Chain A
Amino acid sequence: MYPAAFDYHAPKNVKEALGLLGKLKDDAKILAGGHSLIPMMKLRLAQPKHLIDLGKVPGLSGIKADGKALAIGAMTTHWEIESSSAVKSKLPVLAEVASVIGDPAVRNKGTIGGSLAHADPAADWPAAMIALGAEMVCEGPKGKRKVGVDQWFLGLMATALKERELLAQVRVPLLPAGSGAAYMKFPHPASRFAVVGVCAAVTLDKQGVCTKAGVGVTGAGTKAVRAKGVEAALVGKRLDPAAIEAAAQKAADGVDVQADLQGSVEYKSHLCRVFAKRAITEAVKRAGA
């Protein structure tokens, strides 16, 4: 499978990359790992005239921790996140998410920024970003700006990233003491994308009452969404199985569930509830541990 002809650009820094984006506009696509883009190009579903490869731009990858957040460079591969000791000690759920993306080849080349900018509706990262309340740091001709995850995913493969911008960094806030988080997914039998994936993060006080909850649902609809009904049903409650079950029942509310070969609307909605329950149960267990 051969892609249509394109020009390849390898800018040496962000400024050069932004210059190319400004010049080439719609004709250009950013290459940030390429594990979604290249297959689409080979099938000629995507035919960009220019590829701007961020692989040689320094400073776009790596994981830094400050007291409040993990700052993950957009070009950080899934494998780097999966194997990072900083991630494992400060926000292990990110390593859990990374470990179930695709296969080792995908994890070694694919990047978190590439995934979040591509916004495949069945990608794994979006659920975690929503649950954890991440911020996207974009760089454009006018400098940097931050976009909260709730403003990021606009629709099917559509994000708040502007035409002349690139996604430079993802800031994921650390969870306070007494928190736990988990990601549970039902993988597509062929692609291993999420048919449904739910990430839950809960914070419990000393009495075991939930003070904060974040729940993101990916896979089922045209974009990943925050399960607001579930979160509301968790906060203020002691999270026993009955409370979790009741909250999880709202997991498909507000999701524009799409029927496809992997499931009817009914089945996928059901999976949202099942995996919400499983993720919350595990998150609560980890919060108590």
Chain B
Amino acid sequence: MATVVQERLFGKAIKRREDPRFITGRGQYVDDVKLPGMTYAAFVRSPHAHARIRRIDTSGALKHPGVVAVFTGKDMAGVNSLPCGWDLRKEKNIPGVVQDLAMVPHMPLTADVARHVGDPVAVVIAESQAAAVDAVDRVKVDWEPLPSVTVTDRAARSGAPQIHTGAPGNVAFKWEIGDRSATDAAFKGAATTVKKRILNQRLVANAMEPRACIARFDTATGELTLWVTSQNPHVHRLLMCAFVLGIPEHKVRVIAPDVGGGFGSKIFLYNEEVVCSWVARQLKRPVRWTATRREAYLTDAHGRDHVTDAELALGRDGKILGLRVKTTANLGAYLSTFAPAIPTFLYGTLLNGVYTIGAIHCEVTGVFTNTTAVDAYRGAGRPEACYVLERIVEAGARALGMDVAELRKKNFIPKFSGAFQTLVAVSYDSGDYAAAFDRLLQMLNYRKFRAEQEAARKQGRLLGIGFSTYIEACSIAPSKLVGALGAGAGLYESAKVRVHPTGGVTVYTGSHSHGQGHETTFAQLVADELQIPIEQVEIVHGDTGAIPFGMGTYGSRSASVGGTAILMSLNKIKEKGKRIAAHLLEASANDIEYVNGQFQVKGVPSKAVPFGAVSLTAYVPHKYPDNLEPGLEETSFYDPSNFCFPFGAHACVVEVDRDTGAVQIQRYLAVDDVGKVINPMIVDGMVHGGIAQGVGQALCEGAVYDEGSGQLVTGSMMDYALPKADMLPLYETDRTVTPTPVNPMGIKGAGETGTIAATPTVVNAVIDALAPLGVDHIEAMPLTSERVWKAIQAAKAKR
């Protein structure tokens, strides 16, 4: 029998297998699930940023036609606070803790005080969603409004309203990293120093599908099933069962079916899913809740919100001698699930960037405010670090009068593989930073651009170019390491590979796809490894009743951590298959190799058993080795030995309208190094989407609270400006490939690179465009037309 050699699928841009169902409206999202006897939940939320609850009168709502029940926080006695999954306390030996994290309570329905607009205080359960929503208006809450604080750098000032009794002065924690005295010394010896206040504004994730959940309690079995928009169903189950409701995990099944985007905001355990789960057990009827877009703006965890003072010390030759960073991070009204980790271990540890730096010191104060809780949002800490570093490096180059590309080149960490120990705890895996930057300059034709820019400036046009050369820490993460840093969970990933008797393969992955394309990428990986048609491979995810305990998807970890777990199981399948094949071929297992989809005697393709014959034998073990279990199914848990550190170089060309301050992006170039790539089309898509999000932060996005009332004034898509297609040019992208030694496939991670790189790239370009006018910095983003125009006016006034 002639064997057909299948082409390699690893590295091939095959179309996404899941897309036909999504683009024809046949996806199965939480809100599509219909159950008999379903009830509908609607939440009564605080209209105030900060207010004491004197009394809640639910009688009017209870009389409303169709209402089944109304619950307040007082009814939920015995239910615990939502947990924070990251500890920062000295007694736990967490490095860098200056002041212990204040573990303030976060009750599913607050009973005493509402601490931000949208804080839920009661829930109405009704026979229809319309009845539930109408009855919400009939719950009368007697509010005592309190003064509020929403502004990041005012929260900890004396006289600010106190938000939690357990957090005096609204300080959530104080933390530091790096070497303070070495940094002080570096600044003393510097030829030039620059200092800038750099604001990283608050963002709203805006996943296309709003959050939703359905809880069903089966009175016959005592089992609770929760369908929820989650990036990590097992994490939801663990946190909700063990910490909040006290239900044994084996009695709970969490299903996160098709999920329409997350960007981090669907990692966390939220009030609504806890309340619905609790109510389902009280009423013994299914309960459904789907967020409105307004609720999404008010309650999905927000991102970023830092106020930073950054200082850079430079030698005369342009070498970076020291970096000093002081950041205040706004955590919002409560501690979201992983909130303390974002502005600390996912931020301070990235401040070394791709540069050789003499000394670094960073201190961070986390503060509570009367705003929506802040947690991981695409990039999560790394975009904030990259923004600070790439802005201050450009400011340093301008202060020295050195070309911004030249200064970067002088400071790149030289090419290495294996380990580069940074000054901020982490050790990079592999890197060739100059290569990516050189490729970018080549694509850009940098010298030609500068000549064109000179000509344009003579005509009075404001043309600018900006760069960022970024580092990213992903493939999250080594469990022991994150445990030592305060994580309440391990960060391995699981994969079960089930080979069916007739040769089909189902993979049960702990990773979760909410847009990433796992059903394609992972199937490609499996088909490539087993050399079987991709149609024979099915990927199952998002159901704790089906998959082994897994940690889910965030931190660009699916391909590198989840994919490696699959690879490990595939290797076990092959090893077992060799023993079965050896028996059938009457050869020694050591002499069997797996080639082109068949088990063969090494070098003898004619003495072979196809994959399907081995799988059938495993389940019909008539002719079968002794001492070998039947079946062909393997489970693996992969815990990485290190993070992976993708990197790259981005550039952007902008023109600023002198009259209005409007910024137009003319070109956007990106050279990314994400290690080995399974599906380049999917990676391109991630880079494109990431850039759009980064551009959005630079130019138009931003959550704004009214200072007096604490109202979120950008609480809808009519007010909160997401990037639009007509803002963006056709991207010019390329990749360099520096495989990571951390995992066997050499994959680093691609989900967040664009978001990390794009924001400073665009802002640097605008500053470059305005440089001839004397502008060297704009403190706040987004760079709205008015902000840019005001910077132009201020510079004109100075002259």
Interface of A toward B, CB cutoff 8 Å: 1-2, 4-5, 39, 43-44, 186, 188-191, 261-264, 267, 270-271, 274
For residue B629, CB closer than 8 A to chain A, the reply is no
- With contact pairs A267-B789, A271-B660, A274-B660 given, residues A4 and B134 touching in the complex (Cβ less than 8 Å): yes
| CB-defined contacts of B720 to chain A, threshold 8 Å | 190
Give the distance to chain A from B247, nearest Cβ to Cβ, in Å: 32
- With contact pairs A1-B294, A189-B700 given, residues A263 and B719 touching in the complex (Cβ less than 8 Å): no
CB contact between A190 and one of B133, B717, B786 (< 8 Å): that residue: B717
Give the distance to chain B from A110, nearest Cβ to Cβ, in Å: 14
B722 touches A190 (CB 8 A): yes
**Chain A interface SS verdict (over half):** loop
CB contact between B719 and one of A4, A191, A271 (< 8 Å): that residue: A191
B786 touches A267 (CB 8 A): yes
For residue B714, CB closer than 8 A to chain A, the reply is yes
User: Of B130, B137, B294, B786, which is in contact with the most chain A CB atoms at under 10 Å from its CB?
Assistant: B786
- With contact pairs A2-B129, A271-B660 given, residues A190 and B134 touching in the complex (Cβ less than 8 Å): no
Known contacts A190-B700, A191-B719; can you find 7 more A-B pairs with CB under 8 A?
A4-B134, A5-B130, A189-B699, A189-B700, A189-B721, A190-B718, A267-B786
When chains A and B are docked, how far (Å) is the Cα of A1 from the Cα of B294? 8
- With contact pairs A190-B717, A190-B722, A261-B713 given, residues A1 and B293 touching in the complex (Cβ less than 8 Å): yes
For residue B659, CB closer than 8 A to chain A, the reply is yes
| CB-defined contacts of A188 to chain B, threshold 8 Å | 721
| CB-defined contacts of A190 to chain B, threshold 8 Å | 700, 717-722
For residue B536, CB closer than 8 A to chain A, the reply is no
When chains A and B are docked, how far (Å) is the Cα of A274 from the Cα of B657? 11
**Interface residues on chain B, size class:** 20 to 34
When chains A and B are docked, how far (Å) is the Cα of A186 from the Cα of B661? 11
- Chain A: CB-nearest residue to B42: A2
| CB-defined contacts of A267 to chain B, threshold 8 Å | 786, 789-790
**A-B contacts, 20 listed (Cβ < 8 Å):** A1-B292, A1-B294, A2-B129, A4-B134, A43-B294, A186-B660, A186-B662, A186-B785, A188-B721, A189-B700, A190-B717, A191-B719, A261-B704, A261-B713, A261-B714, A267-B786, A267-B789, A271-B660, A274-B659, A274-B660
CB contact between B130 and one of A2, A189, A261, A271 (< 8 Å): that residue: A2
B134 touches A262 (CB 8 A): no
Interface string of B700-725 (1 = CB under 8 A from A): 10001000000001101111111010
CB contact between B786 and one of A4, A191, A264, A274 (< 8 Å): that residue: A264
Give the distance to chain A from B646, nearest Cβ to Cβ, in Å: 30
For residue B192, CB closer than 8 A to chain A, the reply is no
| CB-defined contacts of A39 to chain B, threshold 8 Å | 718
Interface string of B269-295 (1 = CB under 8 A from A): 000000000000000000000001110
For residue B784, CB closer than 8 A to chain A, the reply is yes
- Chain B: CB-nearest residue to A42: B292
When chains A and B are docked, how far (Å) is the Cα of A5 from the Cα of B137? 12
When chains A and B are docked, how far (Å) is the Cα of A71 from the Cα of B577? 80
- Chain B: CB-nearest residue to A270: B789
Interface string of B649-672 (1 = CB under 8 A from A): 000000000011010000000000
A261 touches B133 (CB 8 A): no
| CB-defined contacts of A262 to chain B, threshold 8 Å | 784, 786
| CB-defined contacts of B718 to chain A, threshold 8 Å | 39, 190-191
When chains A and B are docked, how far (Å) is the Cα of A2 from the Cα of B293? 11
- Chain B: CB-nearest residue to A39: B718
| CB-defined contacts of A261 to chain B, threshold 8 Å | 704, 713-714, 719
| CB-defined contacts of B704 to chain A, threshold 8 Å | 261
> Closest 9 interchain pairs by CB?
A189-B721, A190-B721, A191-B718, A1-B292, A189-B700, A267-B786, A2-B133, A274-B659, A263-B786
- Chain A: CB-nearest residue to B657: A274
User: Of B660, B700, B716, B724, which is in contact with the most chain A CB atoms at under 10 Å from its CB?
Assistant: B660
When chains A and B are docked, how far (Å) is the Cα of A203 from the Cα of B704? 45
When chains A and B are docked, how far (Å) is the Cα of A1 from the Cα of B713? 18
| CB-defined contacts of B130 to chain A, threshold 8 Å | 2, 5
Give the distance to chain B from A208, nearest Cβ to Cβ, in Å: 25
| CB-defined contacts of A270 to chain B, threshold 8 Å | 789
| CB-defined contacts of A186 to chain B, threshold 8 Å | 660, 662, 785
When chains A and B are docked, how far (Å) is the Cα of A262 from the Cα of B659? 16
When chains A and B are docked, how far (Å) is the Cα of A262 from the Cα of B724? 17
When chains A and B are docked, how far (Å) is the Cα of A43 from the Cα of B699? 27
| CB-defined contacts of B134 to chain A, threshold 8 Å | 2, 4-5
User: Of A2, A5, A262, A271, which is in contact with the most chain B CB atoms at under 10 Å from its CB?
Assistant: A2
User: Of A5, A189, A262, A264, which is in contact with the most chain B CB atoms at under 10 Å from its CB?
Assistant: A189
Interface string of B783-794 (1 = CB under 8 A from A): 011100110000
When chains A and B are docked, how far (Å) is the Cα of A270 from the Cα of B662? 13
| CB-defined contacts of A44 to chain B, threshold 8 Å | 137
Give the distance to chain B from A210, nearest Cβ to Cβ, in Å: 23
When chains A and B are docked, how far (Å) is the Cα of A189 from the Cα of B727? 10
When chains A and B are docked, how far (Å) is the Cα of A278 from the Cα of B717? 29
- Chain A: CB-nearest residue to B699: A189
When chains A and B are docked, how far (Å) is the Cα of A179 from the Cα of B756? 51
| CB-defined contacts of A1 to chain B, threshold 8 Å | 292-294
Give the distance to chain B from A179, nearest Cβ to Cβ, in Å: 26
User: Of A44, A186, A190, A263, which is in contact with the most chain B CB atoms at under 10 Å from its CB?
Assistant: A190
| CB-defined contacts of A189 to chain B, threshold 8 Å | 699-700, 721, 724, 784
| CB-defined contacts of A263 to chain B, threshold 8 Å | 785-786
When chains A and B are docked, how far (Å) is the Cα of A1 from the Cα of B785? 32
- Chain A: CB-nearest residue to B295: A1
- Chain B: CB-nearest residue to A273: B659
When chains A and B are docked, how far (Å) is the Cα of A1 from the Cα of B722? 20
Give the distance to chain A from B288, nearest Cβ to Cβ, in Å: 14
| CB-defined contacts of B790 to chain A, threshold 8 Å | 267
Give the distance to chain B from A262, nearest Cβ to Cβ, in Å: 7
When chains A and B are docked, how far (Å) is the Cα of A5 from the Cα of B130? 9
Interface string of B768-799 (1 = CB under 8 A from A): 00000000000000001110011000000000
- Chain A: CB-nearest residue to B129: A2
